[in-house]
């Protein structure tokens, strides 16, 4: 008995995008990727349904990332200073 294949989200998105572009028929895509047409259609509909999330996700706050990086550097410096003082006192 065959085990179920697992596909990455990147692979699913790639196949769904090719189906959306309609450069090839579903039957051609299904034979090329060894998938059923129903599976490709399902991924296509799921991709289109969730595509709006791309524009609703918040963009990363670069100022906060820089501040976190700076604070981690300070913590590292303080850790080494603390270790130095422990050894020399």
For 33, the token pair is 């990727």
Distance of alpha carbon 37 from alpha carbon 43, whole angstroms: 10
CA 26/CA 6 separation, integer angstroms: 20
Using an 8 Å Cβ cutoff, are 67 and 36 in contact? Answer: no
What residue spans define the domains of the chain? Answer: 1-57, 58-89
Q: Could you report how far apart the first and last alpha carbons of the chain are, in Å?
A: 69
Prediction pTM value: 0.59
pLDDT tens digits for range 22-81:
999 999 999 999 999 999 999 999 999 998 887 776 666 778 888 999 999 999 999 999
φ, ψ (nearest 5 deg) of residue 75:
-60, -45
C-beta of residue 42 within 8 angstroms of C-beta of residue 15: no
């Amino acid at each position: 008995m065959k085990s179920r294949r697992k596909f990455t989200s990147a692979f699913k998105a790639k196949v769904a995008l090719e189906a959306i572009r309609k450069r090839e028929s579903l039957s051609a895509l299904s034979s090329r990727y060894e998938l059923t047409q129903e599976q490709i259609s399902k991924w296509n509909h799921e991709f289109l349904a969730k595509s709006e999330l791309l524009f609703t996700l918040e963009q990363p706050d670069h100022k906060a990332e820089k501040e976190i990086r700076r604070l981690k550097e300070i913590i590292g410096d303080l850790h080494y200073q603390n270790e130095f003082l422990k050894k020399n006192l």
